[in-house]
Amino acid sequence: MAVESCLDFPIWALLPKKETCIPAFLGKYPDYDGRGIKIAILDSGVDPGAPGLRVTSDGKPKVIDLMDATGAGDVDTSTVVEAQDGEIVGLTGRKLKIPDSWTNPTGKYHVGVKCAYEMYPKSLKERVQKSYKEREWSPPHNLALAKAARKLQQFEAGHSAAPVKKLEKEELETQVELLGALEKKFEDLGPVYDCVVFHDGNLWRAVVDTSEKGDLESCTLLGTYRETLEFATLSKEDSLNYAVNIHDDGNLLEIVGNSSTHGTHVASIAAACFPDRPERNGVAPGAQLVSIGIGDIRLGSMETGTALVRAVVKLLETGCHVINMSYGEHAHWLGGRLLELLHEVVDKHGVIMVNSAGNHGPALSTVNAPGTMPSSSIIAVGAYVSPEMMLVEYSLREKMPGLGYTWTSRGPSPDGGLGVSVCAPGGAITSVANWTLRGSQLLNGTSMSSPHVAGAIALLLSGLKAQGLPYSPYSVRRAMENTALKVASWDPFSMGYGLLQVDKAFEHLLEHGDCPERDVRFRVNCGVHRRGIYLREPHVVDKPSIRSSPTMRLFFFRMRGAAAQCKIGYEQNLSLVCSASWVSAPALLSLSYVARTIWVKVDPTGLPPGAHYAAVQAIDVSSPQKGAVFDIPITVVKPRRLTDRDGYELRAKGVTLKPGVMQREFVVVPTGATWASLQVKSADPQNVAHVVVHAVQLKQQLSCQASEFQKTFPLAPASEASFAFSVFDDSTLELCLSKWWTNLGDVVVDYSLSFFGLKPEQPCLSMAKSGGVQRASDGVYRFDVMSHLKSEEVLPVATLKHHVAVLRQIQPLGSRDVIPEGRPVYEIQLTYNFSINKGAEVTPSCPLLSELLYESEYEAQLWMIFDANKQLVASGDAYPNRYSTKLEKGEYVVRLQVRHEQRPLLERLSDLPLHLSQKMASGLALDVYRGHAQALVGGKKFAGVTARPGSRLPVFLTPCPCDKLPKGCSPGHFLTGTVTICKDEQGKKVAVFPLTYHIGELPKKSSSATKVASSEEKTPELEFQEALRDLKISWIPKLQGQASSELFEELRASSPKHVPLLLARMQALDGDKERGSQLHEIVSLADQVLGSIDTLELLAALGARTDKKDQNNKQQEKQKGQVVEALTKKGAALCDLFLARAEGSGDGRPQVSSTEGSPEAEPPSLADLNRAYAELLKWADPGDTKVAPFVEKHAMALGQHGRAAKVLLKLMEDKPSQDLDKRLVQVYRQLGWDHCCRHVERSSLVRYPPAYRLF
């Protein structure tokens, strides 16, 4: 039986096609398998080397163009070099050997650099990093750690605790400590590749030096993909296939990979072709593919406006017939620049666009943009799972009737459109990218149903083109919708017009190819920007009858180019049909090329609570069998109303939940309610149920995500689950419950929904802090709490959580950014600087543009954060809350790009502020009081109190003391947080109100210390002389050579023992190019500084208890700093003298000589160095970065390289640099830690890029 079962395995069901009658269609029309059709895959990128993506069914190349439209793969190759002795130097500094086989008539090479991990999807990066660590790091590191630990043990066993051995022991302990720390902090940043671009006389060529050694002969030479169809694999380990495109005369190299495996899976569903295994074919094996990556790898594969606009340019350039876009986001309103451009692609250029409806169900009105665009130009596809898919793909124990997946997004769209056009199988086991190391994989989503429909459209177009029959995007869509199958479980909100039937759609196109509406798109307007009638809110549904006046407007395909005769000759007589008894409409309508308005009456009064759908269909009286010419969708949601008599609570008992079947409740949220509590109790004594809860409300110009709650949870037998979520009042709330579709069997549950309502009078609370005085306006802050529904306990809590700094601060783009008809796109780049005093989580946001993508009037926004060395550390776009990032202490730069084709719109943004929200380490609680008087004196704080229905309670908040504000607060900044009002623990989590705390002018710190009385008052002349002297002293370190020396000598003549003067000279010598020849002078100056200060008295004073604000104490701290600086510079100079003498000055160090005119001093001994080091330890901790120059050199002089490495790593934490990296490599090499050397050298190329990364 097992053998027979394997032999009979239904391979065809792995990529389901029978459900949409594709096998039947291809059986009848085998040559109409997509041949001659190009499908654009707007996705995360397609792997051209994946199984099934090499050739079409008729032997043509499958993937004919590859593009990364995001810019993430771009390499700046504007640096031009010429070969010397057959070699060029790359931007990494490596010498690159030019192969003899290359032809380059100009002899010029464009060079750039690319980090490998910038091209890796997250899961691939994690796999390669893990492999690298296990192979290159862990074995030698574990050996080094064991060796260091063994040395320490041997030392401790063989030596006493004598002071002379203390540094030796410290060195060994430091080595063990360092190796442990390096293991914890290990991070593989990946290899860095040189990139070379040149012109071979015929076309542009590029190579990526994956050898990392300059061995270009071993690397694959590529050309622009569409010209050569060449691609390569980055390395055997990663198996990442990539191609290249070359722009702007060789100055820009575009490396095309993929940001996830999603796009390859999508492409395989649409058009994979397995010549030897046709049962594994995609829907249209004869179609060719154009892959356009719109998922930006910097953003975790999120689509960007830049990528979508470039995608439009590319797909029109390549002559694509069909677009599949399995991407989308929730839009706040239906409109915007991106939607307009996508609309043009369909209406003006005739490309048919298919889009995934979204995976945000099961509640209604959860469909994504761009499929919900108001023109209905895009075909939105829902996801369906058939009985065969259940058995073969998901390995369920038993079949169920076909149904829409639980998670598939539902219509109607907020503007009344149906939302979903058709549905198709939403899962498949098919090819994925090679870098996953899998031949195939099960993925599901509307992302999978959408390419199924795109492939099916390729079949239809292939047949129409073969027969020379005309079509338009509108005729194809109508054919699919009018012939779709309404399965037994049909639901218009999840399945649209039904399950796609390719064979019937093709017959429809053949039979009705000459119908008068073939090239016509009907735009139905049921109000401002409304495609249908959608009655949901109580103030509308409660009316006895609603009259709507839909207006039908006609738009011809390629409207501007449509012949006048077509418009003049168009006439259609229509019968208006609706089977719903609660809808009344005219029976007849005669249409010509003019807008017509009719009256439709909807009477919802007799409808039971729930969602109801109907449509007024316009049927051509001369050909009724072809189905609706257009329709007017009508959705009525009839909600329940709750009252105080039932405690504002909805209860349901004995409700049977079935897999994938929705139980929907619609309730009017009571006036004043702010949150709801849901309890679900299982009545099943045996089985665990996996339950989905989805609650949604709709607000105008806000997406469904603005007010929703969604949870999937296991419900144990006879157990109860409780959830709370926020609501807004006087609006319809949908509560949808269901068993997860794969969770077999029914379950009986009881559930209840209760509402609660404490809220402040103002929805957003705002306080101000300015000056040091509490005033009525910005001191005690009052807000009133209102209770509407029932008696509730009030216990307000106000907490500030984020510090928001307001940061303040045009050129045409390249050939990829010119929209057809010569419309160039422009950009504006804004730069903002900020610093982080302590590691924190930050979130940049642009308030003007945030949360807008498809609906934005601007084309795109993208920001990138760079550290002080230009390394990219974070990126983000329109949705700032998705891109919070942890930053360490340091200086940073944010670069923001916004694009549009109209320069004046960009110029308006030249002063655009950027908000940088920094999460505070702990919340800052504000004091809350019941009365104003208590708030003024900091008296008794607010205790719990009961608010009765209809009551109003005042609440008072006091400002935060200035010393509690986060460091870095400045005027114009503000703090954000929340206020909770109710005492209930569930309510505290969801009934949360925003609080903004504005920072005004802060008081200056006043010193309580009294000035030390001077023995005599300074005259203005004396003050002037001292100020002039101090100014000149400040210039000594800034001047070079003789000028600095002359200025010092001039000042020393009048102030020979002035400590700041001596220190300034030491600073000048320490930074001088000839420092090596002036070390004795540095030592001499340091001794003069130390001789000018009574160090014993100073140490005693510093050890005594004193007031830190006292003026004397400040003077002592200043002197301490001078002593530490002198000791540090002296010690470093002594170490350099010792090392130079010990090595005979034969290592390239500057020759050390005595001060001019003085006899050569005796070189310092180790004992001198140790005495200087011991003296320094009296004044400073050796871990202080201020003394690092001496501590490092002292360790090097003693051959204690572990201590030196510790100092360098400390400096790296404070301010990393390439110089520190080089010194660290030298120290590691002395320690014999070669694996650490290799790691630092490899990482250095990533951490210090030559320029900022391109947008």
Q: What is the 3-state secondary structure (H, E, C) of 14-29?
A: HCCCHHHCHHHHHHHC
Whether residue 479 has pLDDT greater than 90: yes
Q: How far is CA 716 from CA 506, 676, 690, in A?
A: 50, 23, 9
> Of 387, 485, 456, nearest to 427 (Cα)?
387
Give the confidence band of 1013 by pLDDT, cuts at 50, 70, 90: very low
**CATH code of the domain covering residue 362:** 3.40.50.200
pLDDT of 205 reads: 97
**Total number of domains constituting the chain:** 7
> Which percentage of the chain shows pLDDT scores above 70?
93
pLDDT of 1148 reads: 39
Is residue 1212, in this structure, part of any structural domain at all? yes
Residue 335 C-beta-side C-alpha neighbours within 13 Å: 9
> Of 534, 326, 345, 355, nearest to 447 (Cα)?
326
Give the confidence band of 859 by pLDDT, cuts at 50, 70, 90: confident
Give the confidence band of 778 by pLDDT, cuts at 50, 70, 90: low
pLDDT of 476 reads: 97
Label residue 983 exposed, middle or buried (CB < 10 Å: 0-12, 13-18, 19+).
Answer: middle
Give the confidence band of 280 by pLDDT, cuts at 50, 70, 90: very high
DSSP annotation string for 662-722: -EEEEEEPPTT--EEEEEEEE--SS--EEEEEEEE--BTTB-GGGGEEEEEEEE-TT-EEE
Q: How far apart are CA 119 and CA 301, in angstroms?
A: 12
Give the confidence band of 905 by pLDDT, cuts at 50, 70, 90: confident
Mean pLDDT score of the chain, rounded to an integer?
89
Cβ distance 795 to 983 under 8 Å? yes
Give the pLDDT mean for 751-773.
79
Q: How far apart are CA 1188 and CA 1185, in angstroms?
A: 5
Whether residue 214 has pLDDT greater than 80: yes
Q: Where in the sequence is the domain holding 937, given as residue range(s)?
A: 765-803+922-999
Residue 78, amino acid: S
One domain for residues 750 and 684: yes
Give the confidence band of 1154 by pLDDT, cuts at 50, 70, 90: very low
Q: For residue 865, which phi and psi values (nearest 5 degrees)?
A: -105, 130
Buried b (16+ CB within 10 A) or exposed e, 1218-1255: eebbebbbbbbeebebebbbebbebbbbbbebeebbeb
pLDDT of 761 reads: 85
Question: Would you give the distance in Å from CA 806 to the centre of its chain?
Answer: 21
pLDDT of 568 reads: 86
Whether residue 687 has pLDDT greater than 60: yes
One domain for residues 437 and 494: yes
> Of 511, 523, 458, nearest to 483 (Cα)?
511
133-164 confidence digits (pLDDT tens): 999 999 999 999 999 999 999 988 877 666 65
471, 487, 514 - which closes a domain: 514
Is residue 984, in this structure, part of any structural domain at all? yes
> Which percentage of the chain shows pLDDT scores above 90?
58
Residue 1155, amino acid: T
Whether residue 815 has pLDDT greater than 50: no
Give the pLDDT mean for 50-60.
97
DSSP annotation string for 1048-1072: HHHHHHH-TT-HHHHHHHHHHHHTS
Q: How far apart are CA 861 and CA 864, in angstroms?
A: 10
Please give the DSSP secondary-structure letter assigned to residue 462.
Answer: H
Of the residues 413, 421, 447, 677, only one is catalytic, namely 447
Whether residue 560 has pLDDT greater than 70: no
Cβ distance 423 to 385 under 8 Å? no
The residue length of the chain stands at 1255
pLDDT of 1164 reads: 87
One domain for residues 179 and 202: no
One domain for residues 167 and 197: no
Q: Can 447 be counted among the known catalytic residues?
A: yes
Give the pLDDT mean for 640-648.
90
One domain for residues 1079 and 1169: yes
Q: Which pairing describes strands 823-824 and 533-535: parallel, antiparallel, or unpaired?
A: unpaired
1217-1226 confidence digits (pLDDT tens): 999 999 999 9
514, 533, 557 - which closes a domain: 514
Considering only residues 256 and 942, tell me which one the structure prediction assigns the higher pLDDT. 256
Give the confidence band of 505 by pLDDT, cuts at 50, 70, 90: very high
pLDDT of 1161 reads: 60
Is residue 567, in this structure, part of any structural domain at all? no
Give the pLDDT mean for 889-903.
90
Considering only residues 300 and 770, tell me which one the structure prediction assigns the higher pLDDT. 300
Give the confidence band of 413 by pLDDT, cuts at 50, 70, 90: very high
Of the residues 262, 265, 900, 1235, only one is catalytic, namely 262
One domain for residues 233 and 263: no
Is residue 1120, in this structure, part of any structural domain at all? yes
Cβ distance 681 to 720 under 8 Å? yes
Is residue 1007, in this structure, part of any structural domain at all? no
Q: Can 43 be counted among the known catalytic residues?
A: yes
pLDDT of 937 reads: 85
447-469 confidence digits (pLDDT tens): 999 999 999 999 999 999 999 99
Q: Which pairing describes strands 708-715 and 992-999: parallel, antiparallel, or unpaired?
A: unpaired
Residue 125 C-beta-side C-alpha neighbours within 13 Å: 19
Q: How far apart are CA 1191 and CA 1202, in angstroms?
A: 12
> Of 190, 452, 128, 433, nearest to 301 (Cα)?
433
567-622 confidence digits (pLDDT tens): 888 899 999 999 899 999 999 999 998 889 999 999 998 899 999 999 999 999 99
pLDDT of 374 reads: 66
**CATH code of the domain covering residue 1086:** 1.25.40.710
One domain for residues 648 and 738: yes
Hey, is 629 helix, strand or coil? strand
End-to-end CA distance of the chain: 59
pLDDT of 939 reads: 86
pLDDT of 959 reads: 87
One domain for residues 861 and 930: no
Give the pLDDT mean for 898-912.
87
Is residue 15, in this structure, part of any structural domain at all? no
> Of 539, 495, 556, nearest to 347 (Cα)?
556
**CATH code of the domain covering residue 772:** 2.60.40
Whether residue 773 has pLDDT greater than 50: no
937, 967, 999 - which closes a domain: 999
One domain for residues 783 and 895: no
> Of 511, 538, 521, 713, nearest to 636 (Cα)?
538
One domain for residues 975 and 1077: no
Buried b (16+ CB within 10 A) or exposed e, 877-900: bbebeebeeebeebebebbbbbbb
Considering only residues 1044 and 1011, tell me which one the structure prediction assigns the higher pLDDT. 1044
Is residue 285, in this structure, part of any structural domain at all? yes
Is residue 49, in this structure, part of any structural domain at all? yes
One domain for residues 400 and 291: yes
> Of 1231, 839, 714, 797, nearest to 988 (Cα)?
797
pLDDT of 789 reads: 87
Q: Give the number of other Cβ atoms within 10 Å of residue 1137's Cβ.
A: 23
Give the confidence band of 1146 by pLDDT, cuts at 50, 70, 90: very low
**CATH code of the domain covering residue 841:** 2.60.120
Residue 966, amino acid: P
Q: Can 360 be counted among the known catalytic residues?
A: no
**Residue listed under structure tokens 């230009």:** 870
One domain for residues 66 and 79: no
pLDDT of 123 reads: 95
